[in-house]
Amino acid sequence: MSNNIIEVKNLVKKFNNITAVDNISFSVKEGEIFGFLGPNGAGKTTTINIICTLLSLNSGDVTLCGYNVLKDKNKIRNCIGLVFQDPSLDDRLTAMENLNFHSLLYNVPRKLIKKRCEEVLETVDLTNRKNDLVRTFSGGMRRRLEIARGLIHYPKILFLDEPTIGLDPQTRHKIWDYIIKLKKNQNITIFLTTHYIEESEICNRIAIIDRGKIIAFDTPEALKDMVGMDIIIISSKDNNKLKFYIEKKLNKKVEIHEDDNIKFEVKNSSNFIPDFIKNCPVKITSINARKSTLNDVFLNLTGREIREEYMNAKDNFKLKMRFRTRM
C-alpha cells in the first residue's frame, strides 16, 4: 500500500494563453516535510491552490488523503490546514477570538474549542498574548498565529505558502524553529513553498519548479550531489591574469562573481587549494571554498540563480501595510 498522502499526475493549469503549471507530476509521503522550491512566478502558489481545492485544474489528476480534488472538495478541506502567502487574520480581534472563529468554521466540537486554542497557542509560544488584539502583533507573531490557526482542527497536512515572506532573517529563523517542532511533536505532513534557498534544507524531499515545470525532484543532499563540485571564489592583484591562468593552464571554466571575483569549480577543494596557491603566478588576496548548495543546483539546471525578486514601490508599500502595527 502506498504511503503517499498527496499524488499529482500530469497537472496542467492555464490562465488564458499562459501555462502556469505545465504537466507536472510528483508525490508527497505521509509525515514528511516536502518542499516546493522555485523563484517567484514559477507556479508554486498555483499548484498549492489546486491541491487545496482553491483553483480548478485544466487537466491531470490530483488526490489528497485518497480524495480527488474535483470530486471530494469538502473532504479534502477537512484534512488540511493552510497558511496563505498573504496575511488573512482579523487584526481587530484578539488571538483567541481569531482561533475561536476559525474553530467554528471547521466544525470543531464546541466543548473542545477552548482546549484546542490553548494547545495551538502554546505550540507557537503565544499563550501570554492570547487576549491581545492582533493589530498589536509583530509580523512574526502574526505568522505564528496563522500557523496556530491552521492547526486548530488537527489537519493531516499543513500547507505553508511562503510562510516567512517579508520577515527579517531572525524572525524567519524563529518561524522555522516552530515548524520543525510541529513536525516532531504533531507528526503531521508539511508541504511548504519557498524561494529562500536555506529554508528548503530542512525538507525531506524537494521538487524544484521553474516556469511551470518540475526540473528536479529528490532529497536536498541528492540534489546537491548532482552538481558534485566544490565552489572556489578568488580575488587577486590581477584578476585578468588569474582568469587566463585558470582557464588555459588548469582548464577550468571561469565565471566572474560578485565584486569581480573569480569563481570556478573543483572536485576536492581541500586538495586543490594548497597546490593552487603554491603554483599560482598571481598574488592571491582572498580565496574561499564551499560545498555546493541548492542554489548551485538551480544555477546548473537553468543557467541562473534563485534570487528574491526586487519589489517595485507599489509591492513594497503593500508589504509594509500587511505587517504594519496599527495602534
Q: pLDDT of 83-105, one tens digit each?
A: 887 878 999 999 999 999 999 98
For 249-288, what is each residue's pLDDT tens digit? 899 988 887 678 898 989 888 889 999 999 999 999 999 9
Calculate the alpha carbon distances from 237 to 122, 257, 261, 268, 286 in Å.
56, 16, 11, 25, 10
Does position 192 have pLDDT exceeding 50, yes or no? yes
In this predicted structure, what is the pLDDT of residue 310? 34
Does position 53 have pLDDT exceeding 50, yes or no? yes
Q: How many CB atoms lie within 10 A of CB 241?
A: 13
Does position 314 have pLDDT exceeding 60, yes or no? no
17-45: average pLDDT: 92
Does position 63 have pLDDT exceeding 90, yes or no? yes
Do 192 and 35 meet the contact criterion of CB atoms below 8 Å apart? yes
In this predicted structure, what is the pLDDT of residue 133? 97
> Could you give all domains of the chain from N- to C-terminal order, each with its CATH number?
4-224 (3.40.50.300), 229-291 (3.30.70.100)
The vertex-216 CA angle with 169 and 158, nearest 5°, equals 55
In this predicted structure, what is the pLDDT of residue 14? 96
In this predicted structure, what is the pLDDT of residue 326? 39
In this predicted structure, what is the pLDDT of residue 2? 66
AA identity, residue 80: I
Do 79 and 65 meet the contact criterion of CB atoms below 8 Å apart? yes
pLDDT grade for 311, boundaries at 50, 70 and 90: very low
